[in-house]
Amino acid sequence: MNDALISYCLRIGDSTLVLGQRLAEWCSKGPMLEEDIALTNMSLDLFGQSRMLYSYVAELIGDGETEDTLAFQRNEREFFNFLISERPNGHFGETIVRSFFVDAFNFHFYTKLKESKNEVLSAFAEKSLKEVIYHLRHTSQWVIRLGDGTEESKEKVQGSIDSLWPYTEDMFDMSDGDRQLVEEGIAIDLDSIKADWKKTIDDVLAKAKLTLPENAYMHKGSRKGLHSEFLGHLLCEMQYIQRSYPNSEW
Amino acid sequence: MTTEENIWKLLEEVPDPEIPVLSIIDLGVVRTVKVHDSGVLIEITSTYSGCPATDVFIADIKSKLAENNIEGVEVKMKFSPAWTTDWLTENGKKKLKEYGIAPPVNEPDKSILFAKPFVVPCPKCNSKSTKMLSQFGSTACKSLYQCNECSEPFDYFKCLK
Ligand SMILES: [Zn+2]
């Protein structure tokens, strides 16, 4: 059956959706106009990426499922987004660090996923990679600027690195279904991108004069649909209209 | 009798909702037009995956063709190959500049994180002394620039490859 493929696509689509929703929370609250626009631009790209996968998943499931029902009518435990994507925005630097870790992951992940034997996934990766490069460039530049900035900005952004780092391992978690898809040439073995991802992080942090915490406890669970207390609140807000007025359209 | 050529012509009259000086043909988003027994199939690609203009393209294409009594129109999204700014027509680039938006220039290797800065000439005075204000602009496809000579702020249509 397609269960493994559906779950794999949801893993990617949910992560981009939830991070997109977090970035959208900055709309009209950015620290300056240009950043307000940048954060919401990135959010829009991420929503678009989710839609590509959700419409594919809806096709695979059939039975009246749509991209909207997938986004707005599933509960927490049915979401497979990275734990890090649901972390609250915090201050601007915290939002940047969160995106930086994820963008660097997506950059290496999509680069590999372009070679997937599944045509939808490879087309998705080809398109999304072009966008992610802009995102990663933007968040990297901010990490450097804040890390190598004032005493206050350095302290704050170092604090965000320390508190978000323990959620990074979770991005690399794979299910048995994922491993099956790796065998079939559809999914990517995430162990194979880890070293490249780490190098991107290390290079930027060195420029930023920031450090990674040592021996941090690593949280996991999102691949199985186990989340932190924050996802439910996020879904509440995001799904409110569809829950109150099911199947309403713009 | 509806011909494919005829439809391509009509589509030249459908503007990009965000940059109305461009048609969707100038933008290069229309990939295929096929006339078959029971109607017409049109395949389009989105510029950026989250571009809100995409849904408007679809509605506008349908209403344009309906106005011309062309029925059975199906508009499908095509994700691959991904849209690139190379698909902007030369005419489109010219129109962009006249409109005050700097057309995409050939940027250095996009896969390098900290690529060297490149020159985006000012669409008003053609000066090559300009600076980027923000990588992200009023829409997904644009960055914000300012001219050092004439001080004019302007949009740059980002190179996407
Ligand atoms: Zn000028």
Partner-chain residue, chosen from B50, B110, B158, that has the shortest CB–CB distance to A47: B50
Whether residue B91 is contained in a domain is answered as: no
Which chain B residues are Cβ-neighbours of A201 within 8 angstroms? Answer: none
Query: How far from A31 is each of A35, A38, A93, CA to CA, in Å?
Result: 7, 11, 10
Q: Are residues B107 and B150 in the same domain?
A: yes
Q: What percent of chain A has pLDDT over 90?
A: 96
Count of positions (residues) in chain A = 250
Q: Are residues B149 and B118 in the same domain?
A: yes
Host H or E run for residue A183: helix A176-183
Q: Are residues B16 and B61 in the same domain?
A: yes
Q: Going from the N-terminus, what domains does chain A have, and what CATH number goes with each? A: 2-244 (1.20.1260.10)
Residue B2, pLDDT score: 83
Count of CB atoms situated within 10 Å of the CB of A83? 26
The answer to whether A17 and A46 have CB atoms below 8 angstroms apart is yes
List the B30-36 sheet strands across, edge first: B30-36, B39-44, B73-77
Task: Write the DSSP symbol of residue B15.
Answer: B
pLDDT tens track for B62-87: 999 999 999 899 999 888 888 889 99
Q: Which residue of B has its CA nearest to A108?
A: B111
User: What's the rounded mean pLDDT across residues A134-150?
Assistant: 96
The position carrying tokens 């490859």 is: B161
Bond into B81 cis (ω within 30): yes
Task: Write the DSSP symbol of residue B81.
Answer: S
Nearest Cα residue to B30 out of B68, B65, B71 = B65
Lowest-confidence region among A77-91, A167-181, B111-125 = B111-125
* Alpha helix stretches (DSSP H) within chain B: 4-11, 24-27, 53-67, 90-99
pLDDT tens track for A67-119: 999 999 999 999 999 999 999 999 999 999 999 999 999 999 999 999 999 99
Question: Which residues, 6 or more positions from A115, have their beta carbon under 8 angstroms from its beta carbon?
Answer: A122
- Among residues B40, B58, B83, which one ends one of the domains? B83
Partner-chain residue, chosen from B46, B113, B161, that has the shortest CB–CB distance to A137: B113
Please enumerate residues of A whose Cβ is less than 8 A from a Cβ of B. Answer: 34-35, 37-38, 41-49, 51-52, 119-120, 122-124, 126-128, 130-131, 133-134, 136-138, 140, 200
The more confidently predicted of residues B52 and B30 is B30
User: What's the rounded mean pLDDT across residues B114-121?
Assistant: 80
Whether residue B60 is contained in a domain is answered as: yes
CATH of the domain at B60: 3.30.300.130
Phi, psi values for residue A123, rounded to 5°? -65, -40
Q: Is the pLDDT of residue A1 over 60?
A: no
- Within 13 Å of residue B72, how many CA atoms lie on the same side as its CB? 9
Q: Are residues B13 and B48 in the same domain?
A: yes
Residue B115, pLDDT score: 67
* Tally of structural domains, chain B: 2
Nearest Cα residue to A88 out of A16, A142, A161, A25 = A25
